[in-house]
Amino acid sequence: MLSPGAVAFIAISAVISIVVASCGATEPTTPTERRTWEGPSSAVASTGVEIYERREIAQKVSLPACLSVGPVHYRFVRVTPFTGGGTTPPGLTDTFYRLDRWRLWTETGPPEGQERLFVTVRGSTGVLADYERLPLSEQCNP
The percent helix, strand, coil of the chain (3-state, each to 5) is 15, 40, 40
Average pLDDT of the chain to the nearest whole number = 81
In the prediction, which pLDDT does 31 show? 76
Q: What's the gap between Cα 115 and its chain centre?
A: 20
Instruction: Classify the phi-psi angles of 28: left when phi > 0, otherwise alpha if psi is within -120 to 50, otherwise beta.
Output: beta
* Structural domain boundaries in the chain: 35-133
| CA pair distance 80, 2, nearest whole angstrom | 53
- Single pTM value for the model: 0.75
pLDDT tens track for 71-130: 999 999 999 878 766 678 888 999 999 998 899 999 999 999 999 999 998 877 678 999
| d(C-alpha 10, C-alpha 80), whole Å | 43
Region label for 69, one of left (φ > 0), alpha (ψ between -120 and 50) or beta (otherwise): beta
